[in-house]
Structure 1
Amino acid sequence: MAETQPRLHTWQIDAREYARQERRRGRRHAYERLTGPSTALVVVDMVRFFVAGNPYGLGIVPHVHTLARAVRAAGGTVAWVLPAVTEQATGWAVDFYGPEIAELYRGAGGTGPLRSRLWPDLTPAPDDPVVEKTAASAFFPGRCALRDHLDRRAVDTVLVCGLVTNVCVESTVRDAATLGYRTLLAADACATRDDTLHNASLTTIYRSFGDVRPTSELLALLATS
């Protein structure tokens, strides 16, 4: 079997979407400054189940690592969110996916201590929060402890990255915006299965929920925070 080679999405947002926002607010991006200590990088579902065998998942690993280092250097928080492993699949999952796929997803978070479940090339710092979620969104009320960790650190800005763009990442961005966080998505540090799905989510997020920027621009904002 051929080894999976890392790839990055060819991502884009249509020029007319940029123009729409520029007409509305007078600038392309809503958030042009970051304050390091009040910023958190939220890394979604970078576990073996989703990364292994997905060339785009493998491709974003270096960008996730680079963003994590930069956020910590700026005095911010890096939070790792993993799928919770429950005792049994929910009735909803069995009805929706069928019993076999529901069971597959039930165990997607892996086994062992939480920190060991992350993709091996990603190592949390000792004070990084590592939490589980029992919903697609890391901010859905009552389904993840992430918000409590961020509130204790007076975080008002979240940079979101991880897997997969059009499901758990987009869900997390939507709920972060609903809760009032200044929300940014790292366009080249999240991934799904193909460019079409990826870019559709980027467009939706940019239009309605948060800024969308590449890693290089986020690093520049963090460097001046």
Structure 2
Amino acid sequence: MERKVHAWRIEEREIRRHEARRGRRHAYASLDATRTALIVVDMVPFFVDDNPYTFGIVPNISRLATAVRTAGGTVAWVLPGYTEPSPIRQEFYGAATAAMFARSGGDGPPRQRLWREFEPDDADLFVEKTAASAFFPGHSPLPALLERRGVDTVLITGTVTNVCCESSARDASTLGYRVVMVADGTSARRDEDHNATLYTIYRTFGDVRPTDEIIALLAA
């Protein structure tokens, strides 16, 4: 399968609006690596096999994981957990599709369910979520685990940009985290969907940066 990366962009008018407000393009000019966590959302075969854009972000996520670990930060792999589809979800998706999504995370230990190209470390976190967001109360233990490690900044990567990644970014912002959406480390079905989320996050919930810039900040 071909690797594809989104032609991502933030509208210039939005950049100018923020520069006028805060005097700089980006919300966060620096990263304290020891208080930063890379959040990798739903990078399992169910999603990677099905989308060239998701296949395409694997190398950038791997680069970021190495950079975050080297700098003393945390890497958290977030996988879909199984929960019996509720009647409402069956009504919304249809019974067959609801059952398919419920099992999208696969079977077996979380580490073995990740996309095969990743090389997780024993110090990494492995978390299951039973909602779109990795930060929604009652559906993921991630916030409590990050709190124990003193994390205040999260780098959002994975798929799907405009569903689970956006949901996670919004909820992380609500919980008080500094949020950075990785522009070339998240994937959707189309550039239009991907860029709509980047605009929303940049406008209201956090920052948006590409992999190379984040790695440079971690090394600074």
Deviation at 1:132, TM superposition (A): 0.3
The separation in 2 between residues aligned to 1:184 and 1:94, in whole angstroms, is: 33
Q: 4+ runs of 1 displaced by more than 6 Å?
A: none
1:1-225 → structure 2 map (5 Å cutoff):
4-86=1-83, 88-224=84-220
Deviations 1:54-85 (A, max 9, x none): 10000000000000000000100000100001
Question: CA offsets, 1:202-225, max 9 Å, x none?
Answer: 00000000000000100110011x
Amino acid at match of 2:45: R
Write the deviation string for residues 114-170 of structure 1: whole angstroms up to 9, x where unpaired.
Answer: 111110001210011101001100000111010111000000111110000000000
**SS of aligned partner of 1:161:** strand
Mapped contact 1:6–1:58 kept (Cα < 8 A): yes
Superposition CA RMSD, Å: 0.7
CA contact (8 A) 1:9 1:191 kept: yes
Q: Deviations over 1:72-99 (max 9, x none)?
A: 001000001000012x212221011010
The TM-score with structure 1 as length reference comes to: 0.96
- Work out the number of aligned pairs and report it: 220
What is the alpha-carbon distance in structure 1 between the residues aligned to residue 7 and residue 173 of structure 2? 25
- What SS class does the counterpart of residue 190 from structure 1 fall into? strand
d(CA) in 1 for partners of 2:214 and 2:141?
A: 25
Structure 2 Cα separation of the partners of residues 61 and 91 of structure 1: 35
* TM-score (norm. length: structure 2): 0.99
What is the distance in 1 between the residues matched to 2:95 and 2:50?
23
Q: Secondary structure at the match of 2:186?
A: strand
Aligned AA (2:110):
L
What is the alpha-carbon distance in structure 2 between the residues aligned to residue 124 and residue 157 of structure 1? Answer: 20
Gaps of 5+ in 2: none
Gaps of 5+ in 1: none
Q: How far apart are the structure 2 equivalents of 1:80 and 1:174?
A: 18
